Amino acid sequence: IAGVLTWATLLKVSHGHCLLCFSCLVTLVFVSPLPQFIYIIPKPSSFRLRSLTSNHISNLSMDLRLPSKVLEHILSFVDSNEDRNSVSLVCKSWFETERRTRKRVFVRNCYAVTPEAVARRFPETRSLTLKGKPHFADYNLVPDGWGGYAWPWIEAMAAKCPSLEELRLKRMVVTDECLEKIAASFKDFKVLVLTSCEGFSTDGLAAIAVACRNLRELELRECIVEDIGGDWLSYFPETLTSLVSLDFSCLDSEVKLSDLERLLSRSPNLKSLKLNRAVSLDALGSLLRLAPQLVELGTGSFSDKLDQEAVAKLSQAFSELKELKSLSGLWDVLPEYIPLLYSVCPGLTSLNLSYATVQMSDLVELITGCSNLQKLWVMDLIEDKGLEVVASSCKELRELRVFPSGAEGLNDTNVAMTEQGLVSVSEGCPNLESVLYFCVQFTNAAMVTIARNRPNLTCFRLCVMEPFAPDHKTQQPLDEGFKAIVERCKDLQRLSVSGLLTDKAFEYIGTHGKKLRMLSIAFAGDSDLMLHHLLSGCESLNKLEIRDCPFGDTALLENAAKLETMRSLWMSSCCVSFGACKLLSPKMPKLNVEVIDEHPLETRPDSSPVERIYIYRTLAGPRLDMPEFVWTIQKNPEIGVSHLAIK
């Protein structure tokens, strides 16, 4: 049923006629079955198409008889895929027109649908975004060889969508052959962004560099690349002048400075440059002089010893960066070089110090200068005192992430950072909406205060690193703290919990976390009840990932229907039995139930717990590229079928 848009003019339309104003932004809403309305809304405006469910489509006895050219024109204003999905449900001809005009496709689980189906449905795709492995793959919980191969997608797109220009992949296995295929198949390829991907080498990068004549963006974010050498950069042809963004920060080997300098000289549109650690501080100076228009900069190593003249030159180069908004890199930054950055601080909206292992005292003046900062990523070396400075200086702060410097040795906690740091920031920064905070311990009182201060939080990820750590002042579980968070922060979409938690905490989350879409849990809870609360209570739950919790079959089987409304569920080191997995699978044909277990399952008793289970909804059925250690009910365990249908 259509929502009421107060600024809209309602025009009733009789069958076969319609009045359209082409200079306006038009949105179309259908109310089933009759009457039919067209809303004309002056642009610009943000609007939401109220969607029909697929149930309505059968009731609609006639379409609006809009000529498809007209509809195409209207659809060219409809950007959001959510709206386009609604449009495609109206009737067959609208489905056809929409699918032929959709330019950007997002597939948030590469196994939810087949590449061929996507390529066939959207032949005019210009931009494809794909995600592969589950999120916990970032923390080594998904064994190598599990899947997430990009090849079948690239192959399908090369065959059916040759106008593809942009490819964004996250947590996928990308081989050199994939990169070569991209270079060879898409004539106007412009954007390649690989996040947390692996499987390729610098040779593959060379293939992209040499062939993509109109390349705009090449970004490798935290990828694991087989680094054969820095030559790949020299493969960018002299004719390439379109580069806007280059990020090779995850590579190890040195690129030739002269290649980089020449590239920068002929890239007047370059806005974002993220260097790798091997680029020296000395080199940075000359690079900055060639690209003073940069908006985003990731430096290389910040620790060479420079003479006074070089330092002065570098300082000058930084002060020339008038457009700079984002700064990262800063590996091994020596305290004496931090003042070099002062000139850019007032303009910064984003500062990533997560590799800068400097002490709090060195950071204070830097932070004080960043009055426009919206995003800050920093090590816990900043301590409570440093976070107080953040609270008083960075009033525009929206996102804070604090990483654990002592992570590689849990006993090493000489850092004076406690829950108080986060409390200060929650008090001082009115726009704070996203938090990722690693610390050794926490208290309920702190969380209650934070929730009271910041009911506008949308993302709260607290990682108390000591598993099962209670409130360190009261020794109570952290149930009450998380209760305050979910109760007060009504728009909370993402939550990670930790510390000592009982089933009560999950009861609270189930009761109050109505907008929660993603939830991460580790070492928590007492029993199955925990999962039951979550699955039955959290209406918007989309992704749930759990490790090392004592929960098992009952809640899973009881709430099986819920799983079809979610994108995915991950559980590792819990108490789900082999028998339950076998029961679950035939119940839910639209789910893939994958058991990921190193020990052979053929001889397992039904009661034995499985190591990991990954359940996701899919239209594509069981995948064909499962390795030996992934078991689904469709695979015959005796034969041990597994075929790797990938390159």
Partner 1 sequence: MENSNSYSPYSSSSVDSTKPSLSVNLSLSLTFPSTSSQRATSQDWPPIKPRLRDTLKSLRLRQRGYNTALFIKVYMEGVPIGRKLDLSTFSGYESLLENLSGMFDTSVICGNRDRKHHVLTYQDKDGDWMMVGDIPWDMFLETVRRLKITRPERC
Which residues of this protein are in contact with partner 1, per CB under 8 A?
Answer: 136, 138-143, 196, 222, 224, 250, 331, 354-355, 357, 403-405, 407-410, 412, 438, 463, 465-470, 475-477, 500, 502, 522-523, 526-527, 548, 550, 572-575, 598, 609, 611-612
User: Between β-strands 127-131 and 104-107, what pairing exists: parallel, antiparallel or unpaired?
Assistant: parallel
Identify which of 318, 306, 410, 302 has the alpha carbon closest to the alpha carbon of residue 362: 302
Least distance in angstroms from the C-beta of 197 to partner 1: 12
User: Mind giving me the DSSP string for 568-596?
Assistant: EEEEESS--BHHHHHHHHHH-TTEEEEEE
Least distance in angstroms from the C-beta of 380 to partner 1: 11
Choice between 16 and 409, CB closer to partner 1 = 409
Choice between 18 and 465, CB closer to partner 1 = 465
List for the chain the helix, strand, coil content (%; round to 5): 35, 20, 50
Least distance in angstroms from the C-beta of 143 to partner 1: 6
Q: Note whether 315 and 285 are within 8 A (CB).
A: no
Q: How many CB atoms lie within 10 A of CB 268?
A: 11
User: Mind giving me the DSSP string for 422-464?
Assistant: HHHHHHH-TT--EEEEEES---HHHHHHHHHH-TT-SEEEEEE
Using alpha carbons only, give the angle 229, 128, 328 rounded to the nearest 5 degrees: 50
Identify which of 295, 284, 231, 241 has the alpha carbon closest to the alpha carbon of residue 263: 241
Least distance in angstroms from the C-beta of 518 to partner 1: 14
What's the Cα-to-Cα distance from 581 to each of 109, 340, 576, 611, 628, rounded to whole Å? 21, 58, 8, 12, 17
Those residues with Cβ within 8 angstroms of residue 408's Cβ, 6 or more apart along the chain or in another chain = none
Collapse the DSSP code of 547 into the 3-class scheme (helix H, G, I; strand E, B; otherwise coil) and give the result: strand
Least distance in angstroms from the C-beta of 277 to partner 1: 9
Least distance in angstroms from the C-beta of 474 to partner 1: 9
User: Between β-strands 166-170 and 191-195, what pairing exists: parallel, antiparallel or unpaired?
Assistant: parallel
257 exposure class (CB count in 10 Å sphere: 0-12, 13-18, 19+): middle
Least distance in angstroms from the C-beta of 244 to partner 1: 24
Choice between 147 and 477, CB closer to partner 1 = 477
Q: Note whether 236 and 258 are within 8 A (CB).
A: no
Identify which of 100, 170, 186, 103 has the alpha carbon closest to the alpha carbon of residue 132: 170
Choice between 143 and 579, CB closer to partner 1 = 143
Choice between 11 and 224, CB closer to partner 1 = 224
Choice between 106 and 468, CB closer to partner 1 = 468
Q: How many CB atoms lie within 10 A of CB 379?
A: 26
Choice between 539 and 628, CB closer to partner 1 = 628
Least distance in angstroms from the C-beta of 413 to partner 1: 12
Choice between 562 and 612, CB closer to partner 1 = 612
Choice between 147 and 285, CB closer to partner 1 = 147
Least distance in angstroms from the C-beta of 376 to partner 1: 16
